Amino acid sequence: MQVRNSQFEKSLLNKIARVANCLEREVEKELKVSYALTFSQFRVLNGLLVLGEASQHQLASSLDVTPAVITRQAEVLAGRGLVLQRVNPKSKREKVLALTKKGEQAAKDARLTVKECEANWRGEIAAQDEAAFDRTIDILIKLLGQD
C-alpha cells in the first residue's frame, strides 16, 4: 500500500514528475511494440529529425540531457542502422550524428505514434480542462524562463 501524504507527495513538482513518468511509460510501451525503441531512443531520433546533422553536444543540449546519454543511445541506434556517426572535425573527442534514411523514416513513424497516444489522452480530458491545463503549463514555462 502506497502512502502519499507528505508535503512533497502533495507538491506540484511531484505531481508533474508522476504524470510525466506515467505518460512516458505509456508512450514507450507503444514505441517498443511498434518500433523496438525506448522513449530515450525516440527522443534522439526525433531530435536529429528536427536538427538535422548535429554534434553530440548540440543534441544533448537541445534535449536537455547529458552527452553520455546521447553517446549511449547513438551507439545503439547506429548498430540498428538508424543513425550515422562520424568524428566531429571541430572536436576529435565527439561525434557528429545524422539520421540514415531508415532512421528518418523510423523517426517520422514513431512521431506519429506518439501524437496518436497524445490524442488518445487528450480525448479523455474535457475541452475546458484541457484548455486550463495548457494555459497552466504555458504559465509555468514562462515563469521558469524556458520559453
Q: Return the domain boundaries, the chain.
A: 7-143
As a whole number, the mean pLDDT across the chain is 89
Residue 130 has a pLDDT of 80
**Do 101 and 95 form a contact (C-beta atoms < 8 A)?**
no
The Cα 44–Cα 99 span in angstroms is 10
Q: What is the mean pLDDT of residues 23-44?
A: 94
87 Cβ contact partners less than 8 Å away, ≥ 6 residues apart: 95, 96
Residue 122 has pLDDT above 90, yes or no: no
Crossing angle (nearest 10°) for helices 67-79 and 56-63 = 110
Q: What is the mean pLDDT of residues 80-107?
A: 93
Residue 143 has pLDDT above 60, yes or no: yes
**Do 74 and 85 form a contact (C-beta atoms < 8 A)?**
yes
The Cα 3–Cα 5 span in angstroms is 6
- pTM score, two decimals? 0.79
- Extract long-range pairs of 16-21: CB within 8 Å, 24+ residues apart: none
Residue 72 has pLDDT above 70, yes or no: yes
15 Cβ contact partners less than 8 Å away, ≥ 6 residues apart: none
When the candidates are 1.10.150.120, 1.10.10.10, 2.160.20.60, 2.40.30.110, the CATH number that belongs to 7-143 is 1.10.10.10
Residue 115 has a pLDDT of 93
The Cα 110–Cα 103 span in angstroms is 10
SS3 (DSSP) at 88: strand
Q: How would you class 97 by CB atoms within 10 Å of its CB: exposed for 0-12, middle for 13-18, buried for 19 or more?
A: buried
Residue 27 has pLDDT above 70, yes or no: yes
Q: How confident is the model at residue 89 (pLDDT cuts 50, 70, 90)?
A: confident
